[in-house]
Amino acid sequence: MGKKAIVFGATSGIGQELAQLLTNDGYTVMITGRRLERLQNIQTQNKEQYIIKQHDITDVDASEKIFEELPDIFDKVDLIVHNAGIGEENYNLEWDKDLPTLETNVIGATRIYQLAYNYFKVQGFGHLVSITSIASIRGNRFVPAYHASKAFQSNYMESLWMKAQRTKKANIDITNILPGFIDTDIITGDTFWMAPLDKATKQIYNAIKNKKRKAYITKRWWLIAMLLKIVPPRILMKFM
Ligand SMILES: NC(=O)c1ccc[n+]([C@@H]2O[C@H](COP(=O)([O-])OP(=O)(O)OC[C@H]3O[C@@H](n4cnc5c(N)ncnc54)[C@H](OP(=O)(O)O)[C@@H]3O)[C@@H](O)[C@H]2O)c1
């Protein structure tokens, strides 16, 4: 009857590191992603505590199947982390570049949010976490779809938080994680205040354990978030 978690998008970066922290803490963790070889390599490190599932989050039928089959795998699920995400620079607004971002970060994410929330509602409890981004706060000329998709995710998580507060029948926690720059494969261009993956993921895990509604990672990104919220568009456009 130990703790059980699912991390969607755990083949690299934040998801892989977070799944590792969860196993260290005694969780049995289902990890997902498209790259099967990476899932298999992670599982060989700890066969007892990792369950692997090759899964493309843009395939909503496959997401539904995972949730249908959950009772065969886990007696309960304490924690579901939606981490899978992509983003690509698209200054010239090419459709082929934006579409995968929308399919992954908007369509795929929404179905996981719905399935997880409804699963927890039936179960009577559970904690849903989404790794969104500081990018959710404002627009950006270079990566508009990524910023807009993260705004969508962040807004959706706030809606779920409100919904969970008003639900008397189940005890559901909702956590929105907003990272700044963290040293992973997703980062390509120039950055500042880039946090090491291990430090940032520890802070993410602490926010999860404390059941925070919202957490900026690393903590000092709170300051950037506050500035972003108030800076006028005509000044912002000089930087973003
Ligand atoms: N690093 C940062 O500075 C930063 C800042 C803010 C927010 N974030 C967010 O943090 C999350 C994790 O990113 P990361 O930085 O750890 O980068 P990463 O190393 O590239 O990890 C991305 C993860 O998402 C999975 N993924 C992507 N598309 C998927 C799909 N269609 N189906 C299933 N899984 C998919 C990848 O697995 P497969 O490729 O194997 O499918 C991988 O496990 C993302 O949502 C990202 O937007 C990162």
Q: Which CATH number is 178's domain given?
A: 3.40.50.720
pLDDT higher than threshold 80 for residue 223 = yes
pLDDT per position as a tens digit, 41-90: 999 999 999 999 999 999 999 999 999 999 999 999 999 999 999 999 99
Single-letter amino acid, residue 137: I
Total domains present in the chain: 1
Strand order in the sheet with 171-179: 50-54, 28-33, 4-8, 79-82, 125-131, 171-179, 214-217
Distance 235 CA to ligand 1 centre (A): 30
CB 116 within 8 A of CB 64: no
Distance 13 CA to ligand 1 centre (A): 7
Tell me the average pLDDT of the chain. 96
User: Which residues approach ligand 1 with their CB closer than 6 A?
Assistant: 9-15, 33-35, 55-58, 83-87, 104, 131, 133, 179, 181-182, 184-187
- Ligand 1, closest atom to CA 135? 6
- Counting ligand 1 atoms within 8 A of each CB, the residue from 14, 52, 201 with the most, and so the one to mutate, is 14
- Ligand 1, closest atom to CA 105? 45
Distance 76 CA to ligand 1 centre (A): 26
- Ligand 1, closest atom to CA 11? 43
- Counting ligand 1 atoms within 8 A of each CB, the residue from 37, 86, 194 with the most, and so the one to mutate, is 86
Q: What is the pTM of this model?
A: 0.97
Report how far Cα 64 is from the mean position of its chain's Cα atoms. 18
Average pLDDT over residues 226-239: 92
Distance 166 CA to ligand 1 centre (A): 31
Distance 184 CA to ligand 1 centre (A): 9
What are the residues facing 80 on neighbouring strands? 6, 128
CB 236 within 8 A of CB 142: no
pLDDT higher than threshold 80 for residue 189 = no
What one-character DSSP code corresponds to residue 135?
Answer: G
Domain membership of residue 180 as a residue range: 4-236
- Ligand 1, closest atom to CA 181? 3
Protein residue with its CA nearest to atom 1 in ligand 1: 182
pLDDT per position as a tens digit, 196-206: 999 999 999 99
CB 163 within 8 A of CB 121: no
